[in-house]
Amino acid sequence: MSEHLLEPETQQRTDHGARRRHFNPAFEQLVLSELPAAKVIDQGDGEAEPVELITFGTVREICPACHQSHLKLVLRQRQVRLAHLFCADCQRCFDAHYANGAAALTI
């Protein structure tokens, strides 16, 4: 059995100024559009049954419909056809894209 020792790589650090991503409010602003829940979530036969959604955190955007709470991210899962943003207060679904038309909820 051979043993290898890893030594830290020594590089000269040249500081040419940090290249930072410039914040562009026009590009960073999300455009939200409401989606019909039937297009996003499969209700199945029993529409009276509540659907269990797994949310993946809260985003900075506030619900444009009820103005009560921050939206939650819902990714595709068993009964969810499209990734979307969800308001737990008014139970509405929203799609999000950037001002230039690029989808914000795709990986």
Q: Mind giving me the DSSP string for 44-66?
A: -S-TTSPPP--EEEEEEEEPTTT
Which whole number is the average pLDDT over 24-50? 75
Please check the confidence at residue 61 and state whether its pLDDT lies above 60. yes
- Which position has the higher pLDDT, 44 or 91? 91
Q: Return the pLDDT at 106.
A: 77
Q: In the predicted model, what is the mean pLDDT of residues 75-100?
A: 91
Mean pLDDT for the chain overall: 76
Q: How far is CA 53 from CA 61, 67, 88, 89, 98, in A?
A: 19, 21, 10, 14, 25
What pLDDT was estimated at residue 46? Answer: 58
pLDDT of residue 24: 52
Q: Indicate the domain borders of the chain.
A: 25-98
pLDDT of 7 strictly over 50: no
